[in-house]
A and B are shown apart, each in its own frame.
Chain A
Amino acid sequence: MITGAGLVDVELANPLDTFAGAGGEASAREFGTLGYSIRAHKQA
């Protein structure tokens, strides 16, 4: 999806259990949802 928009060098890093202990934890567990840092560039 990101490359489909024209961005390049996509990196996904730093998975975090962002909903642990919060009200959304059950839904996050059901779908395997984590928070990520995402980086990409627009070609020079």
Chain B
Amino acid sequence: MADILELVDVDELRHRVRQKYRDVDADPSGTQHAHHFHTGRAHAVRLGYPSHPLSDLPEKACEAFAGVGNPFYWGGPKPGERVVDLGSGAGMDSLLAALWVGSEGSVIGVDMTPEMLERSRSMAEKLGLKNVEFREGLIEDLPVEDGWADVVISNGVINLCPDKIGVYRQIFRVLRPGGRMTVADICSERPVPEEALRDIDLWTG
């Protein structure tokens, strides 16, 4: 099989992913046009998110959550830790991490969709959380310094990047020695054929 980076138009894929998450921002529950994934607080509960601190977040902070699993399956970040959230989207996981790490810790969410960054920043401000910031960028080129993070989290985003090994190299770069990655993402049991890999519709929905 050809290298995946030769099969996919990366710029077009990023454009379509941004459009998909603009749609989620505009219509989180998919009432106008159904999303191909579940969204919202009830979905997070189904995925096994702990009721605390999830219950501390208002509905608006959860409505556009679109994760595929539970990055906190092994527990949340500890007080004082530094966390990077790859593809922070609507910001729910970054906000939860900010509550877990407390005022001595800090969280950086990175996302490429301006509407999602605006939503996340607005919610952090409303909640009075000074220990979380949202940076515009690509997870294949993280705007975070080497060795800064104790923990890297992500939910349902790495699968949208053709250069997955590049993303994992970035995770390695930003983690401190001894740091950990606890992410959630989709994996397929059966090999995805080349014609499906070329089909951007299948990547985004």
Contact = CB atoms under 8 A, between A and B. Distances in A.
Interface of A: 1-2, 4-7, 12-14, 16, 18-19, 21-24, 27-28, 30-44
A18 B46 CA distance: 9
Contacts of B196: 31
7 contacts: A5-B168, A14-B48, A22-B35, A31-B192, A32-B190, A37-B74, A42-B178
A35 B183 CA distance: 10
Contact of A39 (B35, B38, B176, B182): B182
B184 A37 contact: yes
Interface in B175-205: 175-190, 192, 196, 202, 205
Secondary structure dominating the interface of A: mixed
A19 B67 CA distance: 10
Interface of B: 34-38, 47-48, 67-71, 73-74, 156, 164-165, 168-169, 171-172, 175-190, 192, 196, 202, 205
Contacts of A14: 48, 69-70, 73
Nearest to A33: B188
Given A33-B187, A34-B186, A41 B38 contact: no
Contact of A35 (B165, B185, B192): B185
Nearest to B71: A37
A12 B181 CA distance: 12
